[in-house]
């Protein structure tokens, strides 16, 4: 129980890390949208942080820019386009799914498939070897 409480506290600490906690919009839905947008944009000074988490001056400028674009009635896609036109795809913490990023997005599945193939081949080979001649298993711990 105590461990669970500690874990919950630690999780809280992670969410409390954001630098920009200011209320920018009266409408809770708009405020949530603002917070989601700045969480998806990379701070180009600190690289691994979003502009929500960074207190670099450029991140502050970009947060102000997101706010003013939202007040101008721009959609999420238009705001993302505004940023990528200026800073490239790198500014998006979630890379877009496009032909040039297919390999990137498919990589986890490809690695998993590759691992599965290796496992299947090894298991099959061992099963075959065990059936024909148990003595040929030179690396298994199973032969007494």
Partner 1 sequence: MKLSLRFLVPAILFAALAAVLAIGLRHDPNRLPSALIGKPAPSFSLESLGDPAWKVGSSDLAGQTWVLNVWGTWCPPCREEHPTLVAIASENRVPMMGLNWRDDRTLAMRWLAQLGNPYVSVAYDPEGRTAIDWGVTGAPETFLIDANGIVVRKYVGPMTMDIWQKEFVPLLPAGGAGR
Binding residues for partner 1, per CB under 8 A? 44-45, 47, 57-58, 61-62, 65, 84-88, 90
Distance, in Å, from the CA atom of 38 to the CA atom of 92, rounded to the nearest integer, reads 10
Rounded distance, CA 63 to CA 141, Å? 60
Beta carbon nearer to partner 1, 86 or 124:
86
Q: Considering only CA atoms, which of 25, 20, 23 is closest in space to residue 71?
A: 25
Residues for the chain: how many in total? Answer: 144
Q: How far is CA 1 from CA 4, 5, 6, 8, in A?
A: 5, 6, 9, 11
Q: How far is the CB of 61 from partner 1 (least distance, A)?
A: 5
CB of 36 to partner 1, least distance (A): 20
In the bound state with partner 1, the residue whose beta carbon lies nearer, of 19 and 44, is 44
For partner 1, the closer of residues 11 and 61 by Cβ is 61
- Cβ of residue 109: shortest distance to partner 1, in angstroms? 19
Minimum CB distance to partner 1, residue 35 (Å) = 20
């Amino acid at each position: 129980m105590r461990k669970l409480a500690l874990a919950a506290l630690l999780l809280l600490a992670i969410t409390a890390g954001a630098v920009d906690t200011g209320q920018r919009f009266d409408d809770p839905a708009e405020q949530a949208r603002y917070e989601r947008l700045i969480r998806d944009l990379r701070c180009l000074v600190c690289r691994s942080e979003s502009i929500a988490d960074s207190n670099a001056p450029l991140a502050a400028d970009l947060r102000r820019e997101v706010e003013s674009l939202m007040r101008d009635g721009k959609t999420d896609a238009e705001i993302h386009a505004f940023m990528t036109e200026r800073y490239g795809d790198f500014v998006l913490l979630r890379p877009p799914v496009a032909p040039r990023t297919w390999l990137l997005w498919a990589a986890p599945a490809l690695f998993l498939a590759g691992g599965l193939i290796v496992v299947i081949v090894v298991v099959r080979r061992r099963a075959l070897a065990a059936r024909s001649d148990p003595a040929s298993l030179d690396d298994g711990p199973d032969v007494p």
